[in-house]
Structure 1
């Protein structure tokens, strides 16, 4: 059996948001049911290079399919200025759970972008008002585009308001999507007044103080201790759903107020898996503001890799290599 090598373009071509959202939702359900194994993310610190490596392994059984894999990803904040390279680069190894054969090695950076958008779409589907038609994007980078593409698969988004400290970047995103949406650049307050808001900034001091009375917020930007996009009062008053309690209290949107004692375990309504399976409520008529704290889980990577591999293999995409020399051994 050969291994498929899938570059960034091939991953993008074989990661349509509809199937990704379905697969990521199935992964959250499997995790809640106990049908997933996901050891804690491990770190290899490299202070001599001002960076680190992280490994994210997981296995999940979604019922109709099961999958396993590990993402190897770095964070080297000075890469661009020193070497002309991205700060974050990821590689995904996707394996057959039954035989352990590596079915694919694929670009994990594009995969991460796509699955993060898909996770927000799952949360939006369960927590946003049914007819949500406006989306505010606080931050106009690559992840903002993924958020828009994904959320538009679960809600009838018509209006998009983009807020970014870099006016040129906000304008570029507006230009890129205005053929499908009524899109415009605006202030953070204008974006935050939309039916759904996705925040994707790396800030360490909150930039969103208030939102609409029944707004759903996907808090995506906080992925390390000290990062914090939403005001504490907003979080405390909202129906708060997290992807993983331990990870979110350590490095998610709630990590700062939780560490300071301004939020406690009682303020967290549920993990998203519990909402997906019905073990906890999603949006109810009585709910006002809802917040999803998204840190990113290995089960999402594996679910997304499953979609990419199955589609790429069926289409004959990628490059096949006899990585393990199995063809030579059987000859």
Structure 2
């Protein structure tokens, strides 16, 4: 069994092969070649939960399984620790052979950003940017990295919880050769940016106002019914003017942003249903996460041990 640390895990999951693995896994899910039990969310302590997330491919589709075991501790950043800790185990489904052990936080960051990339390429009316990212953590960084490298975005606006955190994040992006500015006014940034990503700890509303008719909003941070990032009025406005797409069926009962807005979740298509880009109106992509995406990462590692760039 190969053991990958964070750096090796990131190297094994380049954006191009990872996005392709996500598309392939979505096709296999639609064809009935994927087993995807609901994830278990187990409370360990106040604000700390253990996520148990299995998924596997039938022998005809690749005979591969992924088991993610991670802990999400919302207050870990205050302790100087990552909010997400854990691992993803890659196995041969028919035999149980252990093939690889991947760094869980790195898989989570990269596969989540790759799913958003896939959705943006399929659904965004203006996938060329500029990009507004709200949040300054690992998910925000992974999304900026993916969008600048895979979509060629060359202008990023940053809104942090505080001016200082936004400035520090922008400086981090500058060090990586990415042009970034701190957004001092949210509505002004929304008028400029057709691509918007919310990647916060989802303890309070971070996005409100009105987005452009050609906006693509990816709401990433809220992944339980109690969490929220989007103002319910904004969510309802996008649903009325445009289109709401969810990453998986689990988002119908886990998407706090949609539940708070009273959206008809039965009418929201999943990525596996291959929704088409509409002619007009903004798009809201609500992502809650799924073991399906960890399985795609496992495929990327097992099937492309020497990945190429995008």
TM-score with structure 2 setting the length: 0.86
Offset of residue 17 of structure 1: 1.2
Q: Where does residue 195 of structure 2 map in the other structure? A: 196
Which of structures 1 and 2 has the bigger CA Rg? 1
Q: Where does residue 228 of structure 2 map in the other structure? A: 228
Instruction: Select 2:293's aligned residue among 267, 282, 300.
Output: 300
- 1:215-265 deviation line (CA, Å, top 9, x unaligned): 0000001012221112223222320000123334334431322xxxx2223
Q: Where does residue 247 of structure 2 map in the other structure? A: 243
In structure 2, what is the Cα distance between the partners aligned to 1:86 and 1:250?
A: 22
The verdict on how the C-alpha distance between 1:103 and 1:142 changes in structure 2, with shifts beyond 3 A counting, is same
The verdict on how the C-alpha distance between 1:252 and 1:67 changes in structure 2, with shifts beyond 3 A counting, is farther
Q: Where does residue 177 of structure 1 map in the other structure? A: 173
Offset of residue 301 of structure 1: 0.6
Contact 1:67/1:303 (CA < 8 Å) preserved in 2? no
Q: Where does residue 207 of structure 1 map in the other structure? A: 206
Offset of residue 63 of structure 1: 7.4
Offset of residue 93 of structure 1: 0.7
The verdict on how the C-alpha distance between 1:46 and 1:144 changes in structure 2, with shifts beyond 3 A counting, is closer
Q: How does 1:32-51 map to 2 (within 5 A)?
A: 32-47=30-45, 51=48
Q: Where does residue 257 of structure 2 map in the other structure? A: 253
Q: Where does residue 106 of structure 2 map in the other structure? A: 110
Q: Where does residue 7 of structure 2 map in the other structure? A: 9
Offset of residue 32 of structure 1: 2.5
Offset of residue 169 of structure 1: 2.6
In structure 2, what is the Cα distance between the partners aligned to 1:184 and 1:263?
A: 33
Q: How does 1:92-131 map to 2 (within 5 A)?
A: 92-130=88-126
- 1:57-105 deviation line (CA, Å, top 9, x unaligned): 00136977452110001123455667x5433212111001232201011
Q: Where does residue 274 of structure 1 map in the other structure? A: 273
The verdict on how the C-alpha distance between 1:66 and 1:183 changes in structure 2, with shifts beyond 3 A counting, is farther
Q: Where does residue 278 of structure 2 map in the other structure? A: 284
Q: CA RMSD in A?
A: 2.5
In structure 2, what is the Cα distance between the partners aligned to 1:7 and 1:176?
A: 22
Q: Secondary structure at the match of 1:129?
A: coil
Contact 1:204/1:228 (CA < 8 Å) preserved in 2? yes
Offset of residue 205 of structure 1: 3.5
In structure 1, what is the Cα distance between the partners aligned to 2:173 and 2:77?
A: 28
Offset of residue 165 of structure 1: 1.8
Count residues with an aligned counterpart: 299
TM-score with structure 1 setting the length: 0.81
Q: Secondary structure at the match of 1:253?
A: helix
Instruction: Select 2:23's aligned residue among 25, 37, 43.
Output: 25
Determine if the alignment matches structure 1 residue 68 to structure 2 residue 65: yes
Q: Secondary structure at the match of 2:42?
A: strand
Give the unaligned 5+ runs of structure 1: 316-331
Q: Where does residue 323 of structure 1 map in the other structure? A: none
- 1:98-135 deviation line (CA, Å, top 9, x unaligned): 32201011211111110010010011011112552311
